[in-house]
Structure 1
Amino acid sequence: MSQEVLTHEEDGVLIVTINRPEAKNAMTKAAAEGIAAAMDRLDAEDSLRVGILTGAGGTFCSGMDLKGFLRGESPIVEGRGFGGVVQAPPKKPLIAAVEGYALAGGLELMIACDLVVASAGAKFGIPEVKRGLVAAAGGVMMLPDQIPERIALELALTGDFIDAPRAYDLGLINRVVDGPALDGAMALAATIAANGPLAVKVSKQIVKESRGWPMDERYDRQAQLIAPVFVSEDAREGAAAFAEKRKPNWKGK
């Protein structure tokens, strides 16, 4: 894996760090490929329960590397899109830990994550129009799914930034922390990782997919997804652990 992306595992959490602090973690082809490889690992390894995506040096990601763009480089991975994640996020939960700026493609990386923990001083925006570009990696399409359309339009058309308190009020981020965003994200990840992995995975899938299901098919489609969970070893273990007043020993099956 490229040194532009670093990974390490801690208590079932895969921490993925964009490691280009000298360039405000601007996204390159190599970094995108590194993130894609980390997402493959997150989904493939049973010991990993949650992923965290963050940036080195006090910035999450400032967007596409414009120098690379001028050289004709595209920070896109086939099948996964910009940054190796925006078009095909992992099946397991992914948390963005945001310090500093999440701008342009950086914001698009962030909104591809399931949950967001941000430091109090973080800033967010899609300023592509200021450079004659369009936030085409999900910004203009996905942002209106996460915040009111008029606010999404304002961000897309002005290119202006919002701060962490405003982003929290809009529901764009989950938590604002006074300390390091990674610490806050690890606390959230630990809460998730303590739960049944099959149930967590299917719960995410249903939340993400069900809005596109026809109303008269929703419960039938949900039933197909949850049936294996309710007859799993983990479901029995969860009930037994509750009755015996102990922590569950999840097997993921």
Structure 2
Amino acid sequence: MQKIDSVLLDRTEEGVAIVTLNRPSVCNAVNAELTRQLEEVATQVEMDKTIRAAILCGAGSKGFSAGADLREVAAGNVAQLSTSTGGFAGFARLPKNKVWIAAVHGAVMAGGLEIMLACDFAIASEDALFALPEVKWGLIASEGGLYRLPRAIPQALAMEMIVTGASIQANRAMQCGLVNRVVPAEQLKDEALAIARKVSGNAPLAVLHSKALAQQAASSLPEDTLHQLGRDVLARLQNTEDFREGPRAFIERRAPAWKGQ
């Protein structure tokens, strides 16, 4: 196994790469280092002609990812959690021709859900919990959550999750189409590998072009337009007191004192 600090890359399966977010002590929260490394590893996977499918998962028992490390946000380092090419975590907007399968467990929160939504599809363990809780801390899910979630699940449910920060459990996530299947935690990796093997066993060019056409069919407004709209809102919010108050309250483990400015 090749270890690159906050991200692990394993290619023991022929034609399959396993990429692991590796900050388990903080539920794989995204900091600047993970962002840099994930973009590096994902780009390496995309350039490797021997890899046809990739599994993205999270280390440890806490969960797939809690999203942005709010300590970084509170310190004013939010810009370091994105790259010009890959977007949030160096992954959310990274161009991907390979088939990416998210294998998620535990907390799939905020930017963690946005990372999952940047994959082609996902499978989940029975303990997985999904949410976009950004509004609870004065933030917004500008890196895909606000437009990919309403495309992935019924509009009304997406809206409820977005404006309340409420979570849904694995079985409901499967029922509404957010994940493809739910399995016991001990079977998650094997299930993901079984699917990845099926992908890697198919004709590479047929898979490549089928994926591209299917993505075009599912879109309405271009993602570039939606992403820019989200970034514009985020830029305005970053200059407000509430944007600074949310992460501080989270770190101090207290309720935020919102000022609406």
TM-score, normalising length: structure 1: 0.81
Match of 1:69 among 70, 73, 91: 73
3-state DSSP of counterpart to 1:156: helix
In the other structure, the counterpart of 1:162 is: 168
Return the alpha-carbon distance in structure 1 between the equivalents of residues 182 and 219 of structure 2. Answer: 30
* Deviation sequence 1:76-112 (CA, Å, 0-9, x none): 1111100111112411100001011100000000011
1:93-112 matched pairs, under 5 angstroms: 93-112=99-118
Structure 2 residue aligned with 1:50, among 48, 53, 57? Answer: 53
Does the residue aligned with 1:30 lie in a helix, a strand or coil?
helix
- Structure 1 position 210, deviation (Å): 3.0
Cα distance, 1:19 vs. partner? 0.4
Distance 1:2 1:64 in 2: 19
Q: Counterpart of 1:25 in 2: which secondary structure?
A: coil
Q: Distance in 2 between matches of 1:133 and 1:119?
A: 28
Percent identical: 40
- Determine the C-alpha separation between the residues in 1 that align with 2:182 and 2:217: 28
> Structure 2 counterpart of 1:6, which letter?
L
Q: How much does 1:32 deviate? A: 1.4
User: What is aligned with 1:20?
Assistant: 23
Amino acid at match of 1:61: S
User: Cα offset for 1:2?
Assistant: 3.9
Alpha-carbon distance in 1 for matches of 2:219, 2:105: 33
Provide the alpha-carbon RMSD of the alignment.
Answer: 1.4
Number of corresponding residues? 213
Question: Which stretch shifts more, 196-205 or 71-80?
Answer: 71-80
Secondary structure (helix, strand or coil) at the match of 1:135 reads coil
* Residues 1-253 of structure 1 aligned to structure 2 (within 5 Å): 2-9=4-11, 10-58=13-61, 59-73=63-77, 74-178=80-184, 179-212=186-219
Q: Which amino acid aligns with 2:76?
A: G
Amino acid at match of 1:153: M
When structure 1 is superposed on structure 2, of 111-120 and 30-39 the one drifting more is 30-39
3-state SS of 1:60 partner:
strand
Residue type of the alignment partner of 1:65:
D
In 1, the alpha carbon distance for the partners of 2:18 and 2:32 equals 20
Gapped runs of 5+ residues in structure 1?
214-253
Gaps in structure 2 of 5+ consecutive residues: 221-261
Residue identity opposite 1:209 in structure 2: Q
Q: In the superposition, relative to structure 1, how do residues 212 and 54 fare at CA in structure 2: closer, same or farther (>3 Å)?
A: closer
Bigger radius of gyration among the two = 1
